[in-house]
Structures are given as C-alpha cells and as structure tokens.
Structure 1
Amino acid sequence: MTGRNALVTSATTRTIRRVVALLVIAALAATCGATIPDRNLPEWSSPGLVGGGGWPFASEPLDPLDAYGATYLPDSSVVLLRDGRARFIPFGAEDPVTVLREDPRVDVALRTDRSWLRAGKVPGTLPVHRNMAARALLDLRLLTRPSGASIASWYGAWRFVWPRDSAFAIAALAATGHAPEARRILRFLARVQDQDGMWAARYETDGSAVTDGRRFQLDSLGWVLWAGWFLTVHDPGTRNIPELWPMVRRAADRLSATLGADGLPPPSSDYWERSPQAEEDPRRPTLGVVGAVLAGLRGATAIARTRGATEETHRWRMAADRLSAAISRQFAPYGYPRSPIKGGAMDAAVTFLAPPFAAYDPAVDTAVHTAAAKLRLPGGGVLPGERWAGNREVAWTPETAMFALTAAASGQRAEAADWLDWLAGHRTTLGVLPEKVDQYGRPAAVAPLGWTASLVVLALEALDGRLPIP
C-alpha cells in the first residue's frame, strides 16, 4: 500500500468511526440516554445540577432516580422530568421546585439562562458539540459563586476551590465572551493569594484556606498567571483591574525565585496531588509542574510587556528562557516523560508543552501522540499517566479533554473531533460531563466537573478559531 493510499484509508476509517459515534450519540439523545438507575450508586452520584435563572449560586444535584427519562430544556438548567413537569430553582430562591411546564416561572428561568448564553458565544459546529459546550458553560456558571469562588464540583471533597481548576474556568469563560464571570474568579484568586505569591492547594468558598495537610502545588501559580494573561487578551479591560498586577507580580516573582541552578523549580505536587517522593525522580519536578510554570512565566511576561514594566518583563522573560532551556536539556532527550529520566513513564501533562500553552514543536507533538497511545484505554478515554496508582480501567475526562484541546489547537481537527466525540458520548443521562468513565462506559464520580467542562469548551473554541499562545 502506498503512503498516499494509507493516508486515504486512515482518513476514511476515521470518518466512518466518527459517523458511527455520532449516530450512537444521537440515538442516546433520542431516548434521553437513560438506563434505569442503580439504587446502589454512591450517594454523590448525580447526572447533573438543577439551577436557578440568574442566580449562579443556587444549584442542587438531581437525584438519579428523578433523572430517569428526564432532560434539560435546551440551553438551560431547567430539567423537564419524565412526567412532563419542570424542576428548577426560581429566581430569588435557593431551593428547587417542581411545577407544571406551563408555570410562567419556567419561562423566566429559560429566558435568563438563554440570555446569558447569548451574551457570549457557544462554540461547536456539530449540534452534539454545541450542545455539549452549552451544557458545560451553564455548569461552569452553576459552579461559580457571585464572589468568584468557582468550585470543582458540588459534592463533598470536590466542593472546594482549586486555583488550578479556577484558572481554566477563567479561560473558558473568557474565550466565550463571559468576561464578567471570568473577572470575578480572577478577583477571588487575587484576594486569597498569600503575600509571598503562593496559593493554598484549595479553598472554602468564603476564601479561607483548607488546612488538610495537602502539599503546596506549584503548578497553580503557573496556571493562574496563564489564565490572567489569557483573560487580558480576550478582555483588554481586565488590564485595569487593580488586583491583577499585584497578583501577577507576586506570583511571577515567586516562580522566578524558585528556579534552581539547573533552571528547574523544586519538586512539588502537581495535578496528581501526590507527594514528590512517590515520583520516579523525587529530586526534580514533574512535567505537570514545569509545563504550567513555563506557561505562567510567559503569560506574566506578556502582561508586563503590555504594561510597559521593563524590569519585570526582562526578569520574567529570562526566567522563562532558563526554564525552557532546562526542559530541553532534561526532559526532551527522554521523550518528555513525567519525570526526566531514561524510560520515564508518560503523562497527559505532556500536553502542557503543546498548543495552546506553547508554540507547536514537532518533538513535543510526537511525545503527545506517544503518550496518548500509551494512556488510551480499550473503551476510549485515557489514564492520567502510565504509573497511575488508581483504578487502571477507569478513564479520566480532564486528561482526555487535554488531548482534545492540544489536537484542536495544533490544527489536528480530525483527531480533536475523535476525542470530543468520545467525551460527548460518555456524558451523563442529562448530557453533563463527569469526572470519570468506568470500564463499562458509564459515567463515574461527580458530574459536572468544572475542569473537564472548561477544557472541552476551550477545545471546541480552538476548533472554531485560534486560541492565543503566550
């Protein structure tokens, strides 16, 4: 078979797979995607949140039993139950009500939700992708308090603010024209930042740090700096927010000061949230840390340059160049594994060195595809990394969405669509993106997960246009 024929055959096969996947998704949508709920599901299981028209902090999970045969009314957080009644939270209230569909309060809630979506944009050219994006944006809104506290999800250990997750919520809302919400999240993060530039691993919605012994997570500084820059690109007025520059200066100076003689920051917990001592090389940071720090330093440099802050621009650019050179010396020779050692395990964090976080690099692109192949599960989706200590049959949606985002931002549209089709086909019965998908293809853990929602929105936005690269 010639190379050209092989490419044609591969493209044809991929197209067939996509068509089949979309037909399956459409069939599921036509039947509400529902199966009879398992009454033995963990108590935190829910296929989605019921929300209130115009009150982002008023939300409550829908019981899986009530969700059987139910669906969201289009472009809203109002749930139409199988008996034809509507469940939602009326404007000004905190608790959901179940009323006849004809109740005028239902239309008020619908108009409010749809007006909010129309104030920005909903990415996605295919109906199934646009539907997924609309739901993800509405879920981000329901997870964000008026104070700007954007929680990871609604249940237990997820009902906290992670600066990392919040940074991606800022980016998703900014990219889709919802700058007021993005600004509120940025201001919240600026308020809770320590004077030394650090953030705690997570926060209560009132801004108090959670003191549960979790180690500091240096990647959060990088992600917040990147998100702050991303927001200023999409909403130049953000540059005038008084909290922005002090926050950026503290975080960027802290990151610059952490770089050692080898150009790398110290070992730190990253998005895996585990001790550096558990890594293959406990003496050096993981790719999940260095990729985020590099994106953050570049973002901070761009903000400083726009402000005309010559000294900071030079200082942070030099730090970014040192870190970039260190990554090239210590990670690149081994194919960009999680830890910089020969034969090191691959990690989804390799996407942090690719678009939209860094300019396209063929060697990094090869590493991204190598990692995707090694982490992909038989049923689709990926593990976070090769040495993942958790259930190795359960796929994680944030990491799957990372590969979708990188493919989309790199111009690999068919590959990005494949990842996004899988995510669309493994939502809850209400169409909400969960944190995990089990070996039987069923959504697992909390839904919605804000980080996945943000990444999916960004990936679809990247398919619609170009995302900026610091």
Structure 2
Amino acid sequence: MLLFLLFAVLFGSGAGREGGGGRVRLHAAGLLGDGAGTIVPLPPGLTGASYLPGSDVLRLPDGRLRYVPAGGSGPVTVPPDDPGALAAAARTRAWLESGRVPGSNGAERDIAARSLLNIRLLVLPGGAAVAAARDRWDYVWPRDAGWMAAALAATGHHEESREILGFLAGVQRPDGTWEARYRPDGSPVLDGRAPQLDANGWFLWALWVHAQMGNRWEDARALWPAARRAADAAAGSLGPDGLPPPGADYWERGTLRPNLGTAAPLRAGLRAAWDMARRLGHHREARRYARAAVWLDAAIEHGFAPHGYPRTTASGSGADAAVNFLAPPFAPPEKEVGRAVRETAGRLLAPNGGAVPGERWPAGREVAWTPATALFMLSAAASGRGRAADRWLGWLAAHRTQLGAFPEKVGPAGRPGSAAPLGWTEAIVVLALAAEEGWVPVPPVPRG
C-alpha cells in the first residue's frame, strides 16, 4: 500500500501564506493519482493549470498534460494528445458514470464530481481512507472515513464504500470501539489519544446508508459482527443519565461533561443499528438497541435541549456545530432542533463568512473551518431549506483552491489554508448535494 507524497521533489515548496493574525498556510491545491494508492499533492501556485473535465489529468498552461499512469510511482508530463493521459481521463469519467453525480445544475455537478474524484484518490487499496494527503493528515480517522464511505454509497460507488467499511471493521478494537486514528496499514496511532466514541455512531450510520442505498444488505450481514460490537459498545456506554461519558468529540479535545459531538452520532448510530438488526433477523439485539436509542434520545432532550443544544450539558459551554448531527439527514426534522441549527449558524459565523466549530473553539473566530461550514449546508439541504444550502455552498465553492479542492480552513482574508483536499469536507458537500436530490436516507426512529 503506497502513499507517495512527491510535493517538494516535483514542484518545489512555494506554498501561500495567510496574512494577518490568523494566517494559515495552504499546503496543497489538489491531487494527482492513479486511483490505486499513488497520491501526488499539487502545490499552490500552479497558475493556469486545470483538470480535464471529470478526470485527475492536469492540463498545464502550455497545453501539456500531467497525470499518474496506472501502477506508476509518480506523475509524467506528456503532449496534449497522449493516448495514456486521455485513457486515464476516460477511466475516471467512466467511474463517475458508474454511479451518480448529484447537483441541480452544471456548476453543482462539477463541484460534486471533483469532490468524488478527490475522495476516490484518498481511498487507498484495502479501504484506508486518509483524511488528506499531507504529513500528519495522512491517517485514517474513523469519523472522516465513515463520512467518506457514506458519500460514496449515496452516489452509487458501493465497492469503494464497502472497502472503507471493511477496513474500519478490521481495525476495530475487541471492545467494539476505535482508536482516534490509524495508519494506512491498519496499525493504530498510539499517541495518548483515547478512543473517540463518536466513531461507533458514524460507522453504524455509514454501514446503514451503504446497505440502504444500494440494497446491499448482504454487505451489512457480512459486517454485522463489527456492527454488533459497535452497537453494544455504544449502548453500554450510556450512563445512569442516559448519556455517553465525557471524552473527546470531533474537536479532538476532551470535555468534562457529556458532549453533543458524541451523543448525537451515537443516537444516529443506534437507530441505524436497530434497523439493521431487525432487517437481518437479530431481534434480541434490535430490542436492546431500540431501548438504548430511545433512552439516549430522552437524555439528549433533557440534558441539551433546555440550553439550546450547546457543546456539553453545561449551559455555558457555547453553541456547537454538532447540533447538525441531530437534524436531517440523521433524524427526521424537529422544530426545536431546526430552530437551534439556525440560531447556532448565526452564533458561529466567522468574519470571513464561514463557520467555526463552536463558540469556545480554541483557535478563535478569525479562521473558518470548512467541515463546520459544510455541516450547516448539509442540514439545510436535507431539511428542504434550499436557499440556505445554496448560500453555504456558494461560500464554500468560492473558497476552494484554484484546482477546486475544499481546504480544511479559510483565513481572515478569504484564502484557503491547511490540508486540501480534506476528505471530510469533500464528503459533507457531496452528501449535501445528494440530500437535495433526495438520495440520503434518514435512519428510522424506534418507539421503544
């Protein structure tokens, strides 16, 4: 399994810097690859370069093409009519056409196609879906990987989705949880971070989306042992108050009280586990997961709702983008949750127009975070608030790199920064566009 990072060798090290107090550096503008494990980050500053439509083949300003041949260890630069480059472009177009590209117009479909191609390159042989192709990001976070699997499943790319879910099942801990992150070879990164329990919810939800979208219930049956362990761990984590314990959420920082970034994904995951269990004939487990989901739902209503669904059960913990995890497509629409999502969006708005993860986000408000921004797009799209979804997409699209990749961050002056493309943001945007088309199912709600 190879992950080639040939950035400095091939293109030099001229990366942009964000001016001002919250400057962020952009480390890559896009990717080249062969779809079989070779990934080449492209540097910022490739002025005038662009991809051939629907492909990972780059057209340089002088007309020549740059691409990674199948099975190659790096890119080659060839004439405009090179048969190998044109064949590579044809293969990626065929891959897109083997599924569905969401979007209500050509511009949206172009955005979705580029995001799908970026996700495809970030999924290595064996299903290791790395967060991004740069140092310290080239790991598999179960959270990000689950979302990437769901985006691929929602657009009909079930083989790749199944590979990601299989990888996650293979690295699951015996107790049913996951480490915070893994190397592409499946070995855990043991750096002192505790397992992050939201991964259980995201795995179960992604597996359910995979099975539901393509009628792939045999895949769910094959992965049921991992799903059962994940659901058992999720249900067993609920304390006397019905909530999971304090711990690290998607901020990757521990909290002293139960947090919404863990509780909400577990609710979606337990609902998904209940539906999978009953469909697969595991009725005892279905009853157990239904009870746990109902109990957790009541606990969220008691512990978070009175304060407007903040980050933790502490009323002063501040608004958090995790409120989107309670909204469609993770749950049927609820009036109070919808109101909280809209109010939270206003409270988390950064000066540059994007969103930050929370009011108490330790990095401040000057730098927007694209996953948080895209989450508001997703809940708006899945809730039928098309104009709001379009506004969020407009901002995200305007702050991509010059090669159309969504970065992790956007600085005060509106320049993209950090890792690009970021697999999680790419997946959220694909799911949001798919949700507008009605392609993203909502887990059913057990009644006890």
> TM bucket by the smaller chain?
over 0.9
- Equivalent residue letter for 2:432: A
Q: Give the structure 1 partner of residue 232 of structure 2.
A: 253
Residue 431 in structure 1 maps to residue 410 in structure 2: no
* Aligned-residue offset at 1:101: 1.1
Q: State which drifts further: 398-407 or 41-50.
A: 41-50
Residue 50 in structure 1 maps to residue 32 in structure 2: yes
Residue 460 in structure 1 maps to residue 429 in structure 2: no
Aligned counterpart in structure 2 of residue 215 of structure 1, from 194, 202, 208: 194
* Aligned-residue offset at 1:196: 0.9
Between the aligned partners of 1:403 and 1:336, the Cα distance in structure 2 is 15
- Secondary structure of 2:278's aligned partner: helix
Between the aligned partners of 2:343 and 2:136, the Cα distance in structure 1 is 33
Q: Give the structure 2 partner of residue 104 of structure 1.
A: 83
Q: Give the structure 2 partner of residue 315 of structure 1.
A: 288
Alpha-carbon displacement from aligned partner over 1:84-109 (angstroms, at most 9, x marks no partner): 11111012212101111111111111
Between the aligned partners of 2:139 and 2:296, the Cα distance in structure 1 is 31
Structure with more of its chain in helix, by fraction: 1
Between the aligned partners of 2:182 and 2:77, the Cα distance in structure 1 is 33
Residue 294 in structure 1 maps to residue 288 in structure 2: no
* Aligned-residue offset at 1:391: 3.9
- Secondary structure of 1:420's aligned partner: helix
- Secondary structure of 1:324's aligned partner: helix
8 Å CA contact 2:29–2:405 kept in 1: the answer is: yes
Q: Give the structure 2 partner of residue 177 of structure 1.
A: 156
Aligned counterpart in structure 2 of residue 440 of structure 1, from 413, 431, 447: 413
Q: Give the structure 1 partner of residue 43 of structure 2.
A: 63
Between the aligned partners of 1:398 and 1:240, the Cα distance in structure 2 is 29
Between the aligned partners of 2:175 and 2:91, the Cα distance in structure 1 is 41
- Secondary structure of 1:300's aligned partner: helix
8 Å CA contact 2:176–2:233 kept in 1: the answer is: yes
- Equivalent residue letter for 1:247: A
Alpha-carbon displacement from aligned partner over 1:435-455 (angstroms, at most 9, x marks no partner): 111111111111100000000
- Equivalent residue letter for 1:191: G
Aligned counterpart in structure 1 of residue 355 of structure 2, from 357, 375, 382: 382
- Equivalent residue letter for 2:274: T
Aligned residues: 425
- Equivalent residue letter for 1:45: H
- Equivalent residue letter for 1:355: P
Matches within 5 A, 1:44-443: 45-52=27-34, 55-65=35-45, 67-240=46-219, 243-276=222-255, 282=256, 284-443=257-416
8 Å CA contact 1:336–1:346 kept in 2: the answer is: yes
Between the aligned partners of 2:340 and 2:17, the Cα distance in structure 1 is 41
* Aligned-residue offset at 1:51: 2.0
Between the aligned partners of 1:384 and 1:40, the Cα distance in structure 2 is 22
Between the aligned partners of 1:336 and 1:151, the Cα distance in structure 2 is 31
Which ranges in structure 2 are unaligned for 5 or more consecutive residues? Answer: 1-13, 19-23, 444-448
Between the aligned partners of 2:388 and 2:427, the Cα distance in structure 1 is 19
Between the aligned partners of 1:344 and 1:333, the Cα distance in structure 2 is 13
- Secondary structure of 2:37's aligned partner: strand
* Aligned-residue offset at 1:344: 3.5
Matches within 5 A, 1:28-39: none
Distance 1:293 1:449, change over 3 A: same
- Secondary structure of 1:60's aligned partner: strand
Which ranges in structure 1 are unaligned for 5 or more consecutive residues? Answer: 1-36, 277-281
8 Å CA contact 1:397–1:436 kept in 2: the answer is: yes
8 Å CA contact 1:56–1:141 kept in 2: the answer is: no
* Aligned-residue offset at 1:380: 1.0
Between the aligned partners of 1:468 and 1:106, the Cα distance in structure 2 is 37
- Equivalent residue letter for 2:300: I
Between the aligned partners of 2:316 and 2:160, the Cα distance in structure 1 is 43
Between the aligned partners of 2:244 and 2:233, the Cα distance in structure 1 is 10
* Aligned-residue offset at 1:40: 6.0
Between the aligned partners of 1:408 and 1:98, the Cα distance in structure 2 is 40
Between the aligned partners of 2:170 and 2:150, the Cα distance in structure 1 is 19
Alpha-carbon displacement from aligned partner over 1:348-404 (angstroms, at most 9, x marks no partner): 000001000111110001100111000012221101100001142111111111000
8 Å CA contact 2:213–2:441 kept in 1: the answer is: no
Between the aligned partners of 1:344 and 1:217, the Cα distance in structure 2 is 20
Q: State which drifts further: 233-242 or 73-82.
A: 233-242
Between the aligned partners of 2:240 and 2:156, the Cα distance in structure 1 is 42
* Aligned-residue offset at 1:414: 0.7
Alpha-carbon displacement from aligned partner over 1:406-433 (angstroms, at most 9, x marks no partner): 0010011111111111111111001111
Between the aligned partners of 2:309 and 2:138, the Cα distance in structure 1 is 33
- Secondary structure of 1:145's aligned partner: coil
* Aligned-residue offset at 1:133: 0.5
Stretches of 4+ aligned residues off by more than 3 angstroms = 37-44, 240-243
Alpha-carbon displacement from aligned partner over 1:304-346 (angstroms, at most 9, x marks no partner): 0101211000000000011001111111111111112334400
Structure-1-length-normalised TM-score: 0.88
Between the aligned partners of 1:344 and 1:162, the Cα distance in structure 2 is 25
